[in-house]
Homo-oligomer: A and B are copies of this chain.
Amino acid sequence: MSLDSPFARKLSTFVTLSGNDLTVLSDLHRRRRRFLSGRDMMSQGEANQAAYILASGWVCYYVLLRNGAKQIVEIQVPGDFLGLRSVLFRTSDQSITTITEVEASEVLARDLLDAFSSTPRLATAVLWAASRDQAMMAEHLVGMGRRDAAQRLAHFILELAARLILVGQGSKSRFACPLTQYQLADVLGISAVHVNRVLRELRVAGMMTFRDGHVTFEDFDRLVVYADFDIAYLDHGGPLLR
C-alpha cells in the first residue's frame, strides 16, 4: 500500500511508517464497504463491535435530543478513524450517519488489536489520531461557549480546510464541502437561518464564500485572524513514541 489511502497519508505525517507498517495497514482495508448518502452506519445504544476507516466521503457523529433538536458532535472526513469508542464500549454512545456517499473499510475489533500488537507504531499512530479528535472536540466546546456565530463558523471552516489539506483534498484557496446549511447549523449549534446570514456576512466581508458545495477563501489570512484560528491543536510535532 502506498500513500493513496488518506488514512495512511494522515498517519505518515507524524509517524514514519515502515514497509511492514504499510502492509499491516493495507490488510486493515480488506473489508471494503459502501454506504449511500444519508444512511446511519452506527446507531446510538446499538451494540456494534466494528470500527471503520473512512476512505472517501464524509460522515458525522450526532445526538438527537428528546425535544427534537439535533447536535452534530463531529464531522469526519477521509482518513479519519470511526467508532473507536464503540469497540471499547459495549454500545455506541452516538449515532454515525453518512453526509455523502461513503467508502469505508470495516475493521473488526479482533483485527485491529492484532494489528496493534504486530506493529506498536501503528497503535501509537491510531491513539494519536484519537487524541487529536478529542482535542478537536475540546476546541469545538470552546467555540460553542465563547465565540459568536460568525467566529465559530469561520473557525470550523478553517479547521475543515486544515484537515482536508492534510489528506490532500483541499488547499488554502478552495475545497469541496458537501455540507448543507442545515448540517452546518447542527454542527455549530445555531439555526440554519442564522447560518445563512453569517455566511453572507463573511462573503460580503470578502473573506470566504460557501456556494455550490465548495468553500472558496477570498482572504485566507484575514479569516484566520478573524476566527482566532490556531493550527496548533491539530498539528503537534508528532507524538512521543514510548
Copies in the complex: 2
Is A70 in contact with chain B by the CB < 8 A criterion?
yes
Is A146 in contact with chain B by the CB < 8 A criterion?
yes
Contact A89 B189 (CB under 8 A): no
Within 154-187 of A, Cβ neighbours of B (below 8 Å) are at 186
Contact A85 B131 (CB under 8 A): yes
Q: Which of chain B's residues have a CB closer than 8 A to the CB of A61? A: 138
Q: Which of chain B's residues have a CB closer than 8 A to the CB of A135? A: 85, 93
Is A91 in contact with chain B by the CB < 8 A criterion?
yes
Identify A141's interface contact among B69, B73, B240, CB under 8 A: B73
Contact A240 B88 (CB under 8 A): yes
Contact A93 B233 (CB under 8 A): yes
Complexed CA–CA distance, A137 and B63 (Å):
13
Interface size class of A (residues with CB under 8 A): 35 or more
Is A193 in contact with chain B by the CB < 8 A criterion?
no
- Closest chain B residue to A130, Cβ basis: B134
Within 61-100 of A, Cβ neighbours of B (below 8 Å) are at 61, 63, 65-67, 69-71, 73, 85, 87-91, 93-94
Contact A128 B63 (CB under 8 A): no
Q: Which of chain B's residues have a CB closer than 8 A to the CB of A71? A: 141-142, 145-146
Is A115 in contact with chain B by the CB < 8 A criterion?
no
Q: Which of chain B's residues have a CB closer than 8 A to the CB of A228? A: 65-67
Given contacts A66-B228, A93-B232, A93-B233, contact A138 B88 (CB under 8 A): no
- 8 example contacts (A-B, Cβ-Cβ < 8 A) are as follows A73-B138, A87-B240, A88-B239, A89-B131, A93-B135, A109-B240, A144-B144, A145-B188
Within 109-161 of A, Cβ neighbours of B (below 8 Å) are at 109-110, 113, 127-128, 131, 134-135, 137-138, 140-142, 144-147
Identify A146's interface contact among B65, B85, B236, CB under 8 A: B65
Is A242 in contact with chain B by the CB < 8 A criterion?
yes
Is A238 in contact with chain B by the CB < 8 A criterion?
yes
Complexed CA–CA distance, A111 and B12 (Å):
28
